[in-house]
Amino acid sequence: MDYAILGGGVLGLVSALRLAQGGERVTVYEREPVAGGLAAGFQIDDAWLEKFYHHIFRTDRGIIRLIDELGLADRLRWPRPATVTRWGGRTYRLDSPLTVLRFPPLTFPQRVRMAAALAFLKVAPAAPLEGKLAAAWIRRWMGEEAYRVVWEPLLRGKFGATREAIALPWFWARVHDRTTELGYLRGGFQYVYDRLVERITALGGEVRLGVAVEEVRRAADGGLIVRTAEGERRFDRAISTLPPRLLCRLVPDLTDEYRARYDWGQAYGAHCLILALDRPLTDSYWMNVNDAGFPFLALVEHTNYMPTGDYGGRHLLYLGNYRPMDDPLFRTSKEAIVAEFLPHLARINPDFSPAWVTASWSFAAPYAQPIVTTDYREHIPPFDTSLPGLYEASMFQVYPHDRGQNYSVLLAEELAEKLLAAR
């Protein structure tokens, strides 16, 4: 069979690798000039840095296995970097049961209550939590104050105005899957994506970078026609790893029933301003910025996690946001964003001076975070679309786990196995 694969992120590349290993012919079309999708990096000297901060958990067994298979296990590091919360103008470590029990902004009974609810989520299965709302559950079981100080700012940062509608199973997964050791591929996760491209190519597959798919339609002989700027090409089958909403725009032959159910839901875009500094700003890796009035929700100091020596001695800092895709942030110039964000760094480290900044980068991506409401599950498409031969496998089908490289690997392998088994 001749397969077209739409999208050269982890899902598209792993689908292509598994199908090629099974003897199928694959062509991956990726709109961007580099492979890796949301996890792709850009080059700083000899290293790659993700455009959006990335790490993995010990529970991410699919991507850990893949890293091993690709011969990259020697690059995988598992530090235990500090995760802190900014509240009331101060910074507190908050990344383990002990630090919860010592968290000064809450009274001791409030801390015990929060620790007990988190322990419950760590061990409980997700199924009984189905249909419940995260915000309401947190308020009820962790208390109003824990919600106000710790969780409401996080839900607001990630889901904005939709935060009250987020499904509890999604929150369960965030707690359940998390580990205090965080895995990173020294030199950048881009190594995974470049190695995947090499392996696919070595098996006779093609990866067309910088080529966007413009349309997929039914061919007269029962195959599929894929149109790109390079022209039209016939395939036996196609796999889309694009968000269902984008797939619906590209495929005129999908039925109205399919569209009514799966051309559905909201997603937020992601934005990261990355700064290179000539010295450290903080001594933590990850800071949840829970205080009001900051224009970013997370401050991620990557070089308090990986050595500065990997990046020519630069100290690298992400200032991250999730916003509705029509938010003005996505239309603002990097210079204007830098001018808006920099004064807030002095609130975190009073010694900070803009003269510390030696370089900056601004990255944005649409469809970066599905809004996982309680009815989300009913609108998750199956692999089979309404157009025979066209399959959908995207991070929007990951539930209740938070989307991540690991879950795209698992989804890709599940679909490839199903397709190979049905030959």
Ligand X SMILES: Cc1cc2nc3c(=O)[nH]c(=O)nc-3n(C[C@H](O)[C@H](O)[C@H](O)COP(=O)(O)OP(=O)(O)OC[C@H]3O[C@@H](n4cnc5c(N)ncnc54)[C@H](O)[C@@H]3O)c2cc1C
Residues that bind ligand X (CB under 6 A): 6-12, 29-32, 37-39, 52-56, 212-213, 241-242, 246, 270, 320, 365, 368, 394-395, 403-406, 408
- Using the minimum distance from each CB to ligand X, give the nearer residue, 138 or 368: 368
User: Of 107, 119, 116, 156, which is closest to residue 134 (Cα–Cα)?
Assistant: 156
- Using the minimum distance from each CB to ligand X, give the nearer residue, 270 or 390: 270
Q: How far is the CB of 374 from ligand X (least distance, A)?
A: 22
Residue 9 CA, distance from chain mean position: 11
Q: How far is the CB of 278 from ligand X (least distance, A)?
A: 25
- Using the minimum distance from each CB to ligand X, give the nearer residue, 85 or 241: 241
Q: How far is the CB of 411 from ligand X (least distance, A)?
A: 7
Tokens of 62: 């699919």
What is the chain's percent helix, strand, coil content, to nearest 5? 40, 25, 35
Q: How far is the CB of 38 from ligand X (least distance, A)?
A: 3
- Using the minimum distance from each CB to ligand X, give the nearer residue, 19 or 368: 368
Q: How many CB atoms lie within 10 A of CB 87?
A: 21
- Using the minimum distance from each CB to ligand X, give the nearer residue, 89 or 231: 231
Q: How far is the CB of 145 from ligand X (least distance, A)?
A: 29
User: Of 320, 4, 46, which is closest to residue 190 (Cα–Cα)?
Assistant: 46
End-to-end CA distance of the chain: 9
Task: Tell me the pairing of strands 286-289 and 298-301.
Answer: antiparallel
Q: Where are the alpha helices (DSSP H) in 134-243?
A: 134-142, 144-146, 152-159, 168-177, 190-202
Laid out side by side, the sheet with 76-77 consists of: 56-57, 182-185, 76-77
Q: How far is the CB of 104 from ligand X (least distance, A)?
A: 28
Tokens of 136: 């309401």
- Using the minimum distance from each CB to ligand X, give the nearer residue, 304 or 405: 405
- CA dist list (Å): 170 to 57, 78, 130, 173, 414: 16, 25, 9, 5, 21
- Using the minimum distance from each CB to ligand X, give the nearer residue, 110 or 321: 321
All residues at 6 or more sequence positions from 10 whose CB lies less than 8 Å from its CB, including other chains: 36, 37, 39, 63, 192, 193, 196, 405, 408, 409, 412
Tokens of 385: 């679309």
Q: How far is the CB of 211 from ligand X (least distance, A)?
A: 7
- Using the minimum distance from each CB to ligand X, give the nearer residue, 32 or 253: 32
Q: How far is the CB of 339 from ligand X (least distance, A)?
A: 22
